[in-house]
Amino acid sequence: MKQPHIGLIGLGTMGANLARNIAHKGYSIAVYNRTTSVTESFLKNHGNSSITGPRTLEEFVESLKPPRIILLMVKAGKAVDIVIDQLRPLIEKGDSIIDCGNSYFKDTKRRYNELENYEIHFAGCGVSGGEEGALNGPSLMLGSNDNSWQQLKDVLQAIAAKDFNGKPCVTHVGPESAGHYVKMVHNGIEYGIMQLMAEGYDMLRTLYTLSSKDIAHIYKQYNDTELSSYLFDISEAVLLRKDDQSDTYIVDMILDEAAQKGTGAWTAHESLATGEATPTIAEAVFARYLTGNKEKRKMLAKHYASLKKQPKTISDDVVNTLRDALYSSILLTYIQGFSLIHNASQEYAWNIDLPEIARIWQGGCIIRADMLSLLHSALREEKQLLATPSVQKALLPRIRGLRHIITQGVGAGIPLPAFSSTLAYIDTLTSSQLPANYIQGLRDRFGAHTYKRIDKKGVFHTDWLTS
Ligand code: 6PG
């Protein structure tokens, strides 16, 4: 066996699958896990002539041929710093450490700068696709210097998923933390899309009283249309799986409190901090928070039962209208995500190639969807996606459906925060006159905050207390 350049630390499910993917593509790899029994069991189950599993970190580093490429697949946060601190005295100038976890992009920037002082290349690589993606082909978003990209390019291209044209779903997003930034926004979009799909599910279940089986059938139909995507694809299995402990669908036995690990909240926070609005993503994060505390909701539901309206009967028209609502709002969620990335690219001088991001999300990742083809070509024309004729053509006939679904659902007391905020987003951005003049007037009245005028340049203040 050739002495490997590549090593991987952290044999959790994602790490183990990524190591197997690399080995399957013909690369020699050394793997290391803090708990030796995990390495032993990995080697027993998946070992082959391309994989070695040194028992100590020293042996692991020693076994790699410089310049070393060390992939970290450890839990984001403190664990990444701990592993870097342990590795640093063992590795040499010119080696690369690539953090493949969902690390916060500001941590990645700090680590990148710290390791630069030791002439060690640090990179943050967004890896999307869950366990299956890691094994069979993820979408990979690399933030690194050119040196690391050149070192990593071949292996990343070999293990990545393929886009709609068969090209690998990997790109050098930009320097330092650009890759983790884009992965963060990917996850924010993932939150938005899942919340929209959940609101559609709630309409069908609560307002139109459909069973999981019926909803699975409708979502399967949607997946055969322009809404085709990974998340619609897996919905059928999630909605149709029977519970083995009761006589019902498992989805009906799952507690309705949504968990989260933080990437959606970081995206929303970034949106608030930079002033680049992503209301659908932010609402999706709030919506998850609000699902917490089922007991409290059950108690309040009794007191406020009169807010809910009688169920209605489903029709083909509703199914088609909901499809339009989902399509337009999901497209607008991607648009919000791309505007956040565009803004960050300018702010941090990352020079991110936006069409390339729409391309590498076409395969492997959780938000892969047919509409990324439309977004890819639209972004090649114009970064302001709403200004492109193709996006307008896709949105204009469907916004009516979004408005109709919201009217029906909100009228019946179904919470539709993501649908509603998405509609407000497009209604706001397409209004030539908004009520902000009135807000400015109030601000100037109570705090002399000044305002601009529509007819002259400059900053003005009115002495409101004299008539
Ligand atoms: C991916 C996923 C992955 C993970 C999310 C889940 O791209 O493969 O986004 O990163 O499933 O982080 O996030 P929450 O636990 O916050 O929903």
pLDDT in tens, 291-350: 999 999 999 999 999 998 889 999 999 999 999 999 999 999 999 999 999 999 999 999
**CATH code, domain carrying 464:** 1.20.5.320
From the CB of 151, is ligand 1 less than 6 Å away?
Answer: no
Label residues 207-235 b or e (16+ Cβ within 10 Å = b): bbebebeebbebbeebbeebbebbbbeeb
Q: Do 170 and 309 lie in a common domain?
A: no
Q: Do 210 and 321 lie in a common domain?
A: yes
76-101 average pLDDT score: 97
Amino acid present at 169 = C
Residue nearest to atom 11 of ligand 1 (CA): 130
Asked if residue 1 is part of any domain, the answer here is no
352-375 average pLDDT score: 98
From the CB of 365, is ligand 1 less than 6 Å away?
Answer: yes
CA 340 to chain centre: 12
Asked if residue 422 is part of any domain, the answer here is yes
Residue partners of 244: CB distance under 8 A and separation at least 6: none
Q: Do 28 and 158 lie in a common domain?
A: yes
Please state whether the predicted TM-score (pTM) of the whole model is above 0.95: yes
For residues 64 and 5, the answer to whether their CB atoms sit within 8 Å is yes
Q: Do 222 and 167 lie in a common domain?
A: no
Residue where one domain finishes, among candidates 135, 156, 176 = 176
Is the pLDDT confidence value at 2 over 80? no
63-71 average pLDDT score: 97
Tell me the Ramachandran region of residue 55: left when phi exceeds 0, alpha when psi lies from -120 to 50, beta otherwise.
Answer: alpha
Range of the domain at 206: 184-429
DSSP-derived 3-state class of residue 450: coil
Expressed in angstroms and rounded, the spacing between residue 407 Cα and the centre of ligand 1 is: 32
Amino acid present at 232 = F
Asked if residue 237 is part of any domain, the answer here is yes
Asked if residue 141 is part of any domain, the answer here is yes
* Residue 85, token pair as written in the block: 């601190």
Q: Give the single-character DSSP code of 311.
A: P
**CATH code, domain carrying 198:** 1.10.1040.10
Residue where one domain finishes, among candidates 142, 176, 210 = 176
With vertex at residue 378, the alpha carbon angle to CA 157 and CA 199, rounded to the nearest 5 degrees, is: 90
Q: Do 28 and 167 lie in a common domain?
A: yes
**CATH code, domain carrying 156:** 3.40.50.720
Q: Do 189 and 94 lie in a common domain?
A: no
Number of domains present in the structure of the chain: 3
Q: What are phi and psi of 31, to 5 degrees?
A: -115, 150
Q: Do 48 and 95 lie in a common domain?
A: yes
Mutate which of 102, 193, 269 for ligand 1? The one with the most ligand atoms within 8 Å of its CB, which is 102
Q: Do 271 and 153 lie in a common domain?
A: no
What tens digit of pLDDT does each residue of 450-466 get? 999 999 999 999 999 99
The dihedral formed by the CA atoms of 436, 440, 441 and 446, expressed in degrees to the nearest 10 = 140
Q: Containing H/E element for 422?
A: helix 417-429
CA distances from 214 to 189, 210, 230, 237, 401 (A): 27, 6, 19, 13, 21
Asked if residue 423 is part of any domain, the answer here is yes
CA distances from 193 to 174, 256, 327, 374, 400 (A): 26, 17, 10, 17, 19
What tens digit of pLDDT does each residue of 394-452 get? 999 999 999 999 999 999 999 999 999 999 999 999 999 999 999 999 999 999 999 99
Question: How confident is the prediction for the chain on average, in pLDDT?
Answer: 97
Asked if residue 288 is part of any domain, the answer here is yes
* Residue 401, token pair as written in the block: 């459906």
Q: How confident is the model at residue 467 (pLDDT cuts 50, 70, 90)?
A: confident
Q: Do 424 and 454 lie in a common domain?
A: no
Q: Which atom of ligand 1 lies nearest, measured to the CA of 133?
A: 8
Q: Do 465 and 412 lie in a common domain?
A: no
State the pLDDT at residue 309.
84
Q: Which residues are catalytic?
A: 183, 190
CA 463 to chain centre: 49
CA 10 to chain centre: 23
What tens digit of pLDDT does each residue of 228-286 get? 999 999 999 999 999 999 999 999 999 999 999 999 999 999 999 999 999 999 999 99
Asked if residue 202 is part of any domain, the answer here is yes
Query: How many Cα neighbours within 13 Å face the side chain of 88?
Result: 15
State the pLDDT at residue 1.
66
Amino acid present at 178 = A
From the CB of 130, is ligand 1 less than 6 Å away?
Answer: yes
User: In the chain, helix, strand, coil percent, each to 5?
Assistant: 55, 10, 35
Neighbours of 401 (CB within 10 A): 21
From the CB of 267, is ligand 1 less than 6 Å away?
Answer: no
Expressed in angstroms and rounded, the spacing between residue 324 Cα and the centre of ligand 1 is: 26
- Of 94, 103, 183, 79, whose CA–CA distance to 147 is shortest? 94
Residue where one domain finishes, among candidates 129, 160, 176 = 176
What tens digit of pLDDT does each residue of 94-123 get? 999 999 999 999 999 999 999 999 999 999
Inter-residue long-range contacts of 310-315, CB under 8 Å, 24+ positions, other chains counted: 310/412, 311/206, 311/207, 311/208, 311/209, 312/207, 312/208, 312/408, 312/412, 313/208, 314/204, 314/208, 314/210
From the CB of 128, is ligand 1 less than 6 Å away?
Answer: yes
From the CB of 368, is ligand 1 less than 6 Å away?
Answer: no
What tens digit of pLDDT does each residue of 171-201 get? 999 999 999 999 999 999 999 999 999 999 9
DSSP-derived 3-state class of residue 141: strand
Q: What are phi and psi of 209, to 5 degrees?
A: 50, 35
Q: How far apart are the first and last CA of the chain?
A: 89
Q: Do 87 and 151 lie in a common domain?
A: yes
Asked if residue 85 is part of any domain, the answer here is yes
Q: Do 146 and 245 lie in a common domain?
A: no
Expressed in angstroms and rounded, the spacing between residue 330 Cα and the centre of ligand 1 is: 18
